[in-house]
Chains A and B, each alone.
Chain A
């Protein structure tokens, strides 16, 4: 294999791993800490994608500054979704925490269908894309990475994913919220008995998790189109990530996202017809040989 294509495929694998990380990390946190299996999680990735296209395409009247556009994707959209999901947690999701996982899956599948219809109602069923003038990926162009030309924007997305993973890790081991979350993942009831308002922690963890999914969708869209199929694709992929990584493990999500990202990138290069088959074949192997996932028997940040 020529060294250039090795580098390019590795870079693409990292980019894809970054997107998978955004789409899945909240799913594993919400399960590990709050014991909610939220099938609709990655649907917020799709929502983030649509909101980002809409935002970028309407930003042109005000500004085409790359910094401002990136700030909208990285800060404003996740923040708006954070507030929205805090409301959703209190209303739609609150009753789901108390029921069995299989009912959680059914109920949150319903949430996917509703979100899907909301998206189609607002933006229609046809794919939508970002206009050239306000597409930060086109504005940023390419950079040279060890002799290979790669997208500067994709490099930026990979860096944001790394920052996000490190930030989450530090939050869990250093902050009060993170330590209480770790404790809740181990013994929810005991945390209550120690006087902690677990509902408040729940809203925060849920909203942070959903906001990260929306961030992923927003970052994804300058390079691609927002379509209803994106939601479904990432719902499936995010489950592959957490099954392979192990439910409830931050490390598991990082490792599984990297593995799937690489497998998919090199799979597309060499066996394009088998792209998804390879990913889900990998998932099947993990289920057969290590059903709890690679890191499923560990805590959130072990």
Chain B
């Protein structure tokens, strides 16, 4: 194959405790795209992300980023190849300050010094200006919405080519959600690719260029750029009545 995608998940099969949780999952993301991974809770969205981040045992298939095969490489190498991850349950380091939380991913990538970090931090602050006010506070003292911002910010300070956002809007009040969506739009404007895992079709439709629909660990359909996400048949079947 001559064409090389930014992220290429190919025929991924993953088992946890002998149960197959992902089967033949294939996802491709090109540079600058925002792609949604839509499915109900437990469909396999988070497992897909965890697999891309190297935290599951992969039985079959491959994960390539910018052409590099990372399938059997340690988890920590993801960030160096340009993948940032903002988990659904935030997973901030609650005893550390917000700024140190952001710093952690630059330390991990080890490609920049303190000046470089400040530059990246300021770019995050342009996306979420309200973060400036609580940079010095321990992350554990923030509200849920603020913590979500820091989680995304932490993924961005590694200067990624692609970020995986797991349910970024979940649990947010409507006003905060709008703010947050604007933030995602600004990330897109920076040219960073996004994969967003969503159990809310409307939220996904608002930001994504195209989508994959996942059900019971399998991709059941792919929704192209020219097709409205909310009107897809599979989507209507899976999410009927809600």
Contacts and interface: CB of A to CB of B under 8 A. Distances in A.
Interface of A: 176, 179-180, 182-183, 186-187, 189-198, 299-302
B104 A194 contact: yes
B94 to A, nearest CB: 6
Contact of A192 (B76, B80, B154): B76
Q: Kindly name the residue among A182, A195, A197 whose own CB sees the greatest number of chain B CB atoms within 10 A.
A: A195
Interface stretch (B10-18, B85-93, B141-149): B85-93
Interface in B7-26: none
B108 interface: yes
B96 A196 contact: no
Contacts of A193: 53-55, 75-76, 78-79, 85
A194 B83 CA distance: 9
A302 B138 CA distance: 11
A302 to B, nearest CB: 6
B87 A182 contact: no
Given A176-B107, A183-B104, A187-B91, A194 B96 contact: no
A69 to B, nearest CB: 40
B105 interface: yes
Given A179-B100, A191-B108, A193-B76, 11 more contacts: A179-B103, A180-B104, A182-B93, A191-B104, A193-B55, A194-B104, A195-B110, A196-B76, A196-B107, A196-B108, A300-B95
- 5 smallest A-B Cβ distances: which pairs? A195-B108, A195-B79, A194-B108, A183-B93, A299-B95
Contacts of A187: 91, 93
Nearest to A190: B91
B107 A198 contact: no
Interface of B: 53-55, 74-80, 85, 87, 91, 93-96, 100, 103-105, 107-110, 154, 158
A187 B104 CA distance: 12
Contacts of A300: 95
13 contacts: A182-B96, A186-B95, A190-B93, A191-B104, A192-B74, A193-B55, A193-B85, A195-B77, A195-B79, A195-B80, A195-B158, A299-B95, A300-B95
Contact of B107 (A180, A182, A186, A302): A180
B116 to A, nearest CB: 15
Contacts of B104: 179-180, 183, 191, 194, 196
A182 B108 contact: no
Nearest to B111: A195
A302 B95 contact: yes
A258 to B, nearest CB: 23
B55 A179 contact: no
A301 B96 CA distance: 10
Contacts of A189: 55, 75
A212 to B, nearest CB: 22
A195 B109 contact: yes
A197 B74 CA distance: 9
Contact of B87 (A186, A190, A195, A299): A190
A297 to B, nearest CB: 13
B16 to A, nearest CB: 14
A301 B95 contact: yes
A189 B109 CA distance: 16
A194 B91 CA distance: 11
B57 to A, nearest CB: 13
A170 to B, nearest CB: 15
A183 B96 contact: yes
Contacts of B100: 179
